[in-house]
Amino acid sequence: NAGVMQNPRHLVRRRGQEARLRCSPMKGHSHVYWYRQLPEEGLKFMVYLQKENIIDESGMPKERFSAEFPKEGPSILRIQQVVRGDSAAYFCASSPVLHEPHYEQYFGPGTRLTVT
């Protein structure tokens, strides 16, 4: 059973370009979370999605950022018109369908975005 997969692992974009980050959850997992880790910082929650639904986007910047988790295919985190401050590691985590009081979030290896 493959773990959470993210691609690309490293992404370089010039200011003003768009960045698309992909996350394939573990097999059988229908919940996806995106976190951002700025240099020398902890992970900050961005958005929580289920298939075709955004459950909580309270951590997502209001402009330029969007996320989706379609019925088929990976979850996508999209950053439009990137700026230098967007340079960070973006981690995706997934968890299975919720029937228990606790479920572990399994993290992917992250995508390291560098904006030049």
Contact 40, 106 (CB under 8 A): no
Q: Indicate whether 98 belongs to the interface with other proteins (CB under 8 A).
A: yes
Nearest to 33 by CA among 46, 16, 43: 46
76 forms bridges with which residues in the sheet?
22, 68
Question: Diameter of the chain by CA atoms?
Answer: 44
Q: Indicate whether 45 belongs to the interface with other proteins (CB under 8 A).
A: yes
Q: Indicate whether 104 belongs to the interface with other proteins (CB under 8 A).
A: yes
Query: Cβ closer to other proteins: 2 or 14?
Result: 2
The count of residues interacting with other proteins (CB under 8 A) is 28
Q: Indicate whether 4 belongs to the interface with other proteins (CB under 8 A).
A: yes
- Note the residues at the interface with other proteins (CB under 8 A): 4, 31, 33, 35, 40-45, 48, 56, 59, 91, 93, 95, 98, 100-110
